[in-house]
Amino acid sequence: MKNITLIIPAKYEKESLPSVLLELKKFPFNIIVILEPTDHETIDSIKNFDCTIIYQTNKGYGDALILGIKSVKTEYFCIFNADGSFNPIEISGMYSSLKDKDGDIIFGSRYEKDASSEDDTLVTKVGNFIFTKLGKILFKLPITDILYTFVLGKTKMTLNLNLQSQDFAFCVELPIKAQRKNYKIFSTPAHERARIAGKKKVNAIRDGLYILKKMIFMFLKS
């Protein structure tokens, strides 16, 4: 699977990122880590690992992912968390499913049959249910976990979406724009592990409002 590049946004993940990269040594993926240039501790923590580091000039989760996708040189990209919650073993299954179904982008889901999460809370579960349901009603999205970014897709086709969200609204902009271009997108069961260390970067209220505003804006613009 040398035709897959992992994009790892890793703001302030010095405690978990080295363990993630150590686990990834067992796999033949290309790896891009997105960091802020002032995050010296995280930068120092991975100086002995074989990965490409790209520095953000702007801020935000979405900005990091867009920068990463634009930097990918392989046919496929995969968004991968720096906190250890994604299991790299699952990537081969996602890739096989994408190829077998002649798909364009596949979305991991914690809510498919046989899926699970060790890190989901009542707040994130309810929020995800609401936004996923909105995605189905407003945009006819066929995915079951809209806020989960364990995503593997075709690089060139994703670049053609002209993604712009610099914050967590990226989570909904990607599938909505892909659906509007009639890309073949679908969900597959995923198993979210507990994060290794550190704290979540998501603020449920603030980021929830960003996402809601983005969905309303995109619906009204259609």
State if pTM tops 0.75.
yes
DSSP result, 46-95: TTTS--EEEE-SS-SHHHHHHHHHHH--SSEEEE--SSS-S-THHHHHHH
Backbone phi and psi for residue 180, each to the nearest 5 degrees, phi listed first:
-70, -25
Taking residues 120-132, what's their average pLDDT? 91
Domain encompassing residue 139: 4-221
Per-residue pLDDT band at 119 (split at 50, 70, 90): confident
Residues sharing a CB contact under 8 Å with residue 158, sequence separation 6 or more, in sequence order: 69, 77, 105, 174, 178
pLDDT at residue 66 tops 90: yes
Predicted local confidence at residue 120, as pLDDT: 86
CA 62 to CA 149: how far, in whole Å? 11
Q: What is the DSSP letter of 9?
A: E
Residue 213 CB coordination number (10 Å)? 11
Predicted local confidence at residue 124, as pLDDT: 86
Q: What is the pLDDT of residues 193-219, one digit of tens each?
A: 999 987 777 778 888 999 999 999 999
Instruction: Fill in the amino acid letter for 176.
Output: I
The DSSP H or E segment spanning 45 is helix 40-45
Number of domains within the chain:
1
pLDDT at residue 131 tops 80: yes
Residues sharing a CB contact under 8 Å with residue 201, sequence separation 6 or more, in sequence order: 11, 12, 61
Going by C-alpha positions, the residue among 8, 34, 37 that lies closest to residue 20 is: 8
Per-residue pLDDT band at 6 (split at 50, 70, 90): very high
Q: How far is CA 85 from CA 56, 152, 164, 189, 209, in A?
A: 23, 16, 25, 14, 24
Predicted local confidence at residue 201, as pLDDT: 72
Per-residue pLDDT band at 123 (split at 50, 70, 90): confident
CA 107 to CA 4: how far, in whole Å? 15
Query: Percentage of the chain with pLDDT > 90?
Result: 89
CA 30 to CA 172: how far, in whole Å? 26
CB 78 within 8 A of CB 6: yes
CA 14 to CA 42: how far, in whole Å? 4
> At 123, is the secondary structure helix, strand, or coil?
helix
Taking residues 115-130, what's their average pLDDT? 91
What is the domain-level CATH number for residue 212?
3.90.550.10
Per-residue pLDDT band at 1 (split at 50, 70, 90): confident
